[in-house]
Amino acid sequence: MDAESLPAPLKSAVEGFERYLHGERARSAHTVRAYLADVHSLLGFAVQEGIRDLDQLELGSLRRWLGAQSEAGMARSTLARRAATARAFTKWALREELIATDPAIRLQAPKRVKSLPGVLQQQQVLRVVDSLDAAAADGGPLALRDRAMVELLYATGVRVGELAGLDIDDMDQDRRTLRVIGKGNKERTVPFGVPAALAIDDWLRRGRPALVTATSGPALFLGVRGNRVDPRQVRAVVAVLLQALGDTAATGPHTLRHSAATHLLDGGADLRAVQEILGHSSLATTQIYTHVSVDRLRKSYQQAHPRA
């Protein structure tokens, strides 16, 4: 059920929640869309049960909503996310006095199964970079842009949305640092190395001027029409490069973020330094990369040691 089909009180609540997410919580457009999709799913299910006002929502309806999705084969990670969204929505509704009690306070969902992120080996990263260098040798603006974007993704571990949002002034090329606006509008400074600096300089001198238009503004990376590059374009570029490797199932720009974090830790970087570079609010989130490194160490040991 779409938003327009909801009863007026429920539709009004969704609109208020959306304003809250954009305003007070400063969530990204992508995150807001995900939250609203979950809320629409919940309220659509509630309407089918005869609910027309938010104050009629009960714990039983929330549990049946999750149960129906579980029976339909929805992944446990998605169920956990939807339960979290429901709790955030009803907590907000209680604060706004749209409901008298919070029905989701005891709502639980299957625990997420933590999986290790896809990580490239360092030799695989070098092969990706070599292919980008070969393409950029012809000097085409998009080839120069793609090389600079991938070098920066791997050098800094920034998220694809953070990369797309970069402006030229966010870079300090002398110090080789990047000012990044992350989740929750939190700002952090991230260093990058010489290869990324050279690729970006090449893009700024020979690539960007060929694409820039009157509407480009200060955007660091541009699309073919001169507008700020879209995150979907970045994902498509990386997906093609990883597919061309032929020996990895990893896909998407997050693979480069995972790889950057793992290779930093493999090289002896401090865990809290990696946390700061990645912009993780919790050290526990960063610690998953230590598991990746230990797993790789264990495999190497088992392959090499005669009495493993």
Q: Show which residues are catalytic.
A: 159, 183, 254, 257, 280, 289
175 backbone φψ class: left, alpha, beta (φ>0; ψ -120 to 50):
alpha
* Phi, psi angle pair for 198, to nearest 5°: -65, -40
Q: How far apart are CA 186 and CA 180, in angstroms?
A: 8
3-state helix, strand, coil in the chain (%, to 5): 65, 5, 30
Contact 178, 165 (CB under 8 A): no
Contact 136, 195 (CB under 8 A): no
171-172 vs 177-181, strand pairing mode: antiparallel
Dihedral angle at the C-alpha atoms of 176, 181, 182, 187, nearest 10 degrees? 80
Long-range CB pairs of 49-54 (<8 Å, 24+ gap) are 51/10, 52/7, 52/9, 52/10, 53/7, 53/9, 53/10, 54/9, 54/10, 54/13, 54/93, 54/98, 54/99
Q: Which residue has the tokens 């896809």?
A: 118
Q: How far apart are CA 6 and CA 291, in angstroms?
A: 45
Q: How far apart are CA 150 and CA 132, in angstroms?
A: 9
- Pick from 161, 187, 157: which is nearest to 28 by CA? 161
